[in-house]
Amino acid sequence: MELVTPIQLGLLVLQGQGFVTLISSDGDDRRIVNAARVSFDADLKEHDPDRDKKLINYLIRNDHTSPLEHVTFTFLIECPIFIARQWMRHRTWSYNEVSGRYTEPRMNFYEPREWRQQSVSNKQASAGAIQDESKQDKLRVDYANFLRYAQDLYAEFIDAGVSREMARILLPNSLMTRFYATVDLHNLLRFIQLRDHAHAQQEIREYAIAMRELIQPIVPVAVEAWNTHKGAKNE
């Protein structure tokens, strides 16, 4: 019998500034097998680990992915708004996010350890840290000053009677946000494939890697099969 499992496993990312927590999951490798085998009325038969593994590999290799949709995960995520914007392009997830209209933000901002330079070959990517340490120091100080100014201005506008929904436009998209996100295994693996990839932004990549680590013990065969047949091509 399968039960909804209450789980609270989290991983810190972005040098401890963000996190992803697995709140709960429903289903595992056996659920995938059962959902696939109902086609030939064999979903209640005894499981054989080797046959189950072969079937899951067959399903993923041949894009018979609907059985994966019967396994679901709910995560609680804290990340900068610019990462949440990338995340929520993935339309097959369900989301609920803290509101800057109902609440005043906690004023946690993502502060990168190093500022990366623009890639020449890939217009949307960065290419390693700026090497000059004195330049890094200046960028860090400038950024800290900017964050302080933005927060002061927000407080000033609120004090002047401006609504929260308007005052928030003064805050940068490095502000941390928090949201619940529920997704099925197929769309989660697709997310990880796209976002743990050399073309994806380093920050969201950390979240994709963390989620793979969190689900691996629950669906080890499916994760391995996905890596084998669909794994990200990181060139």
Beta-carbon neighbour count of residue 14 at 10 Å? 20
Residue 123 makes contact with ligand FAD by CB under 6 A: no
Annotated catalytic residue, options 31, 37, 190, 195: 195
Cβ partners under 8 Å of residue 34, min gap 6 = 43, 44
- In angstroms, give the least distance from the CB of 165 to ligand FAD: 25
Do residues 63 and 186 lie in contact, with contact meaning Cβ atoms separated by under 8 Å? Answer: no
**Count of residues engaged in binding ligand FAD, rule: CB under 6 A:** 10
**How far is it, in rounded angstroms, from Cα 68 to Cα 112?**
36
Helix spans in the chain (H): 29-37, 49-61, 81-87, 133-159, 164-167, 185-195, 202-215, 220-230
| Residue 148 a catalytic site member | no
Residue 119 makes contact with ligand FAD by CB under 6 A: no
**How far is it, in rounded angstroms, from Cα 80 to Cα 205?**
13
Interface map 172-191 toward ligand FAD (x if CB under 6 A): ---------------x--x-
Beta-carbon neighbour count of residue 45 at 10 Å? 12
Residue 91 makes contact with ligand FAD by CB under 6 A: yes
- In angstroms, give the least distance from the CB of 183 to ligand FAD: 8
Interface map 186-225 toward ligand FAD (x if CB under 6 A): -x--x---xx---xx-------------------------
- In angstroms, give the least distance from the CB of 193 to ligand FAD: 9
Footprint of ligand FAD (CB under 6 A) = 89-92, 187, 190, 194-195, 199-200
